[in-house]
């Protein structure tokens, strides 16, 4: 379990937007980068979040792990510097199509006190610090993996990770046990 810091008790509004499309077809069907950005900015404003940076991955498959994408690889640096406490995405599959990558990455964010907000879930923080939150995120990750045809780390791996008492799932942190966040889906 991570040691509580002053950030745990002082809610921050510093946020990043993460946008991704993999094909021109997606851009034409209403999930263009510009459409995602407009929706995310509106939801960030409605929730009182200050958008500090926008990461845009165009023409990058969601099956590529987030840390290996051009813009996705920049997120950990900003998080390590403490510049961001929130990451907003239109929906989970804009960030992840691999369940294991999702669970591992969100656990790292959670340990650092960073919350993930998904607009298609009402822009609420996904509470990954509880057993119910880990289960919920595992289910979402499995669905995102299945929708993209990325079967190598599908739903069964997500459920296995979630079912191991957090040892390989997600730890406490942003929106989790001991956190000051009161707006999360799975409390």
The secondary element (H helix, E strand) that includes residue 46 is helix 33-46
Residues ≥6 apart with Cβ < 8 Å to 150: 62, 63, 97, 98
Give pTM, 2 decimals: 0.70
Q: What is the CATH number of the domain that holds 110?
A: 3.40.50.1390
Report pLDDT digits (tens) over 158-171. Answer: 443 444 434 333 33
Query: Is the pLDDT assigned to residue 173 strictly greater than 50?
Result: no
In-domain check, residue 182: no
Six-digit token pair at 155? 């739903």
Q: Does 71 fall in a domain? A: yes
Q: In angstroms, what is the C-alpha Rg of the chain?
A: 15
Q: Is residue 56 part of a domain?
A: yes
Query: Looking at the domain assignment, is residue 58 inside a domain?
Result: yes
Please state, rounded to an integer, the average pLDDT across all residues of the chain: 74
**Residue 30 pLDDT level (bands cut at 50, 70, 90):** low
| 174, part of any domain | no
Does 186 map to a domain? no
Question: Per residue in 16-25, is it b (16+ CB within 10 Å) or e — as a string?
Answer: bbbbbbbeee
For the segment 10-39, the average pLDDT, to the nearest whole number, is 83
Q: Which residues contact 18 (CB under 8 A, 6 or more apart)?
A: 54, 55, 57, 71, 72, 75, 87, 88, 89, 94, 95
- Range of 55's domain? 14-162
How many structural domains compose the chain?
A: 1
**Does residue 96 lie within any of the structural domains?**
yes
56: pLDDT confidence band, cut at 50, 70 and 90? very high
* pLDDT digit string, tens, across residues 83-118: 888 999 998 989 998 888 998 898 888 888 888 888
Is residue 150 domain-resident?
yes
């Amino acid at each position: 379990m991570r040691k509580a810091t002053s950030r745990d008790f002082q809610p921050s509004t510093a946020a990043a937007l993460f946008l991704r499309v993999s094909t021109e077809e997606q851009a034409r069907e209403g999930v263009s980068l510009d459409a995602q950005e407009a929706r995310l900015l509106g939801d960030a404003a409605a929730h009182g979040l200050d958008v500090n940076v926008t990461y845009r991955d165009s023409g990058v498959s969601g099956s590529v792990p987030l840390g290996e994408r051009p813009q996705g690889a920049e997120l950990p640096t900003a998080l390590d510097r403490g510049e961001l406490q929130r990451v907003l995405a239109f929906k989970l599959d804009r960030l992840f199509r691999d369940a294991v990558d999702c669970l591992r990455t969100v656990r790292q964010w959670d340990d650092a006190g960073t919350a993930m907000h998904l607009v298609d879930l009402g822009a609420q923080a996904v509470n990954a610090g509880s057993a119910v939150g880990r289960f919920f995120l595992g289910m979402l990750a499995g669905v995102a993996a299945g929708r993209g045809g990325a079967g190598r780390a599908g739903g069964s791996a997500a459920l296995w990770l979630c079912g191991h008492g957090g040892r390989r799932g997600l730890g406490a942190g942003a929106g989790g046990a001991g956190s000051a966040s009161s707006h999360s889906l799975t409390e």
